[in-house]
Amino acid sequence: MNPQDGLSPPAATALRAALDQALARVLPEQLAGPTADVLWWALLGTLILAVIQVSMLYATWLERKAVGRIQNRLGANRVGKFGLLQPIADMVKMLTKEDITPSGAHRWVYNLAPILVVPPAILVFAVIPVGAGLVATDLSVGFLFFIAVSSTVVIPIVMAGWGSRNKYALIGAMRAVAQIVSYEIPQVLSVIGVLLMAGTLSTQGIISSQGVAVPPYGSFPGVWFVLVQPVAFVIFMLATVAEIERSPFDMPEAESEIIAGYHTEYSGIKFGMFYLSLYFLTIAAACLGTILFLGGWQAPLAALSFIPGWVWFSGKTLLLVLFFMWLRGTLPRLRVDQMMGFCWKILVPLALANLMVAGLVGKLAKQADASPLFTLAGFTLANLVLVAVAVWLLVAWRSRVGGPAVGLRPPTVAEGAA
């Protein structure tokens, strides 16, 4: 939040002014400015942290309830009314569990891994805007910052796998990393189509381009990107689910498959850190989906814009989080070969095709100076053609191969076996 840009809420501006004055009285001229800055940032950072921490705790509660309901049971409901104190109980449990360190583990690497897996998941929230002036720091490379920081989480995972000195942890770590890393490509490629039209990497700018303009950004195409590029939205959602290792892409940590993957040898709070990081990333991914495709904090209709931006943003993010939980509760887990095949052989070519189509139609729409409605019509047509061609190709591939298009073929039964 920059008090000078005129978009921050009045309370924040007043608070900042009070802070500046208080420090100007106590410190000499040169120090007062920077100190005020640092203190303001620390305050902002703590506030963001508090909000996402509470959100994350109740996301875990929501998950247990939602998945429980999908599976026709009640979910956690013992601790507190409706199980609302369950996350607190879980936290207490993790803090008081004995820490069992395997004897051969590399002390530094093993212990640093759970510490280093959390900061990237928190840091990405620095560029998430929840309102017109409500973004911690509107970096001109905001989106890229998000992707780069979230991609660094693979290093602590590798450290955990190697540092545990456990075959299964190591294999689990490598599988997890191969999965995370592979799905980054379709995720990014699908978003480039969105960036083409937004013309900026700034998160606030991307939101601005989907509706009412927020200076200094423009407002082309003026409609939410989910309407203009639904294919990209679907690819992005699927790739993101795989990135954050949620079911149906949670092979690396499936309990029945490989014990617990890369965090096999971690107990108590150290395991808790991996769990924490996963949930932060889930919320962050939902926030990113909202920003890129659902118009961020902007209301769908001008008439509804009296409802504050952060309400819209939270609502849309909640919707996406529920969608993730829905996928978890309903779809069976993919095998690792199916998962990788799906990424590289289906999602990446589809994302490339979508990118080219989006580029072509977007450029034509911009040059013809089309109205939002006309742009929407043009894109809908182009997307229908794209989806039709993709489905046709997939069906043709499947019939040629005589079975599932990706993944290992099931063994064929010999003819005439008794």
Partner 1 sequence: MIEQAFFLVLAGVTLGAALGVVTARSVFVSALWLVLSFLGIAGLYVLLDTGFLAVIQVLIYVGAISVLILFAIMLTRNIMVGERATNNQWAMGLALALALFGTLAAVGHQADWRLNDAAVVPAAGGLVLTGDSLAERATVPGALVIQDEAGAPTVAASGNIATLGRAFMSDYLLAFEVAAVILLVALLGAIVIARE
Partner 2 sequence: MTDNWGFVVVFGLIALSIPILAMIMAWLFRPHRPGPIKQSTYECGLETTGETWIQFRVQYYLYALVFVLFDVETVFLYPWAVAYNQLPLFALFEMFLFLAILALGLVYAWRKGALEWS
Residues between 127 and 146 that touch partner 2 (CB under 8 A): 136-141, 144-145
**Single residue of 139, 234, 269, 387 touching partner 1 by CB under 8 A:** 139
Find the binding residues for partner 1 in span 99-118 (CB under 8 A).
Answer: 104, 106, 108-109
Which string of x and - marks every residue 211-230 that binds partner 2 (by CB under 8 A)?
---------x----------
147 binds partner 1 (CB under 8 A): yes
Contact flag: residue 119 with partner 1 (CB under 8 A):
no
* Structural tokens at position 82: 């409706």
Q: Please count the residues of this chain forming the interface with partner 1, following the rule CB under 8 A.
A: 29
- Written as six digits, the tokens of 364 are 């034509």
Tokens representing 100?
């069992």
Classify the C-alpha dihedral 151-38-112-63 as positive or negative.
negative
Residue ranges of the alpha helices (H) in 124-266?
Answer: 142-151, 154-163, 167-198, 203-208, 225-228, 230-243, 255-258
| Token pair 């381009």: residue | 209
Question: Out of 159, 198, 258, 386, which residue is the one contacting partner 1 (CB under 8 A)?
Answer: 159
**Which one of partner 1, partner 2, none is in contact with 80 (Cβ closer than 5 to 8 A by kind)?**
none
Cβ-contact 44, 134 below 8 angstroms:
no
Residue 109: contacted member of partner 1, partner 2, none (CB under 5 to 8 Å, by partner type): partner 1
Residue 271 structure tokens: 């395991």
Query: Which of 23/170 has CB closer to partner 1?
Result: 170
The only residue of 62, 84, 144, 269 in contact with partner 1, by rule CB under 8 A: 144
Locate 156 and state its tokens. 């602590």
Q: How far is 198 from 247, CA to CA, in rounded Å?
A: 32
Residue 310 sits in the site that holds partner 2 (CB under 8 A): no
Shortest Cβ distance from residue 139 to partner 2 (Å)? 5
2 binds partner 1 (CB under 8 A): no
Can you tell me which of 4, 72, 367, 412 binds partner 2, judged by CB under 8 A? Answer: 367
Q: Where in 235-274 is the site for partner 2 (CB under 8 A)?
A: 259, 264-265, 268-270, 272-273
**Sign of the CA dihedral running 216, 218, 224, 227:** negative
How large is the angle between the packed helices 167-198 and 269-293, nearest 10 degrees? 20
The verdict on 254 binding partner 1 (CB under 8 A) reads no
Minimum Å distance from CB 201 to partner 2?
Answer: 6
Among 2, 151, 219, 267, indicate the residue that binds partner 1 (CB under 8 A): 151
Distance CA 302, CA 311 (A): 15
Judged by CB under 8 A, does residue 154 bind partner 1? yes
3-state secondary structure of 246: coil
Q: Tokens in use for 32?
A: 């007062």
Task: Mark residue 129 as left, alpha or beta (left: phi above 0; alpha: psi -120 to 50; beta: remaining).
Answer: beta
CB 296 within 8 A of CB 313: yes
* Interaction between residue 103 and partner 2 (CB under 8 A): yes
Binding residues for partner 1, rule: CB under 8 A, are: 34, 104, 106, 108-109, 139-141, 144-145, 147-149, 151-152, 154-155, 158-159, 162, 165, 170, 174, 177, 181, 184, 199, 201, 216
